[in-house]
Amino acid sequence: MSGIKGALYVADLNTLLIFNNSIRCKVLDIVMPRITYLGSATTTISTCVMITITGNGLIRKMGIQALFALALSHLFVQLLKNSVCRLRPKDVLSNINTFDVSLDYYSFPSGHTTAAFAIAATLALNLPILAVICFPIALIIAISRLYLGVHYPSDVLAGMAIAILTSVILQIIINH
Q: Which of 80, 151, 152, 163 is catalytic?
A: 151
Q: What's the distance, CA 99 to chain centroid?
A: 18
End-to-end CA distance of the chain: 41
CA distances from 159 to 32, 103, 116, 148 (A): 18, 16, 9, 16
The closest of 13, 32, 1 to 107, measured between CA atoms, is 13
112 as an active site residue: the answer is yes
Handedness of CA 103, 47, 23, 110 (dihedral sign): positive
Active-site annotation holds for 176: no
Distances (CA, A) of 164 to 40, 83, 133, 147, 157: 17, 21, 16, 22, 11
* Residue among 112, 134, 143, 148 flagged as catalytic: 112
List, by residue number, the catalytic residues.
112, 151
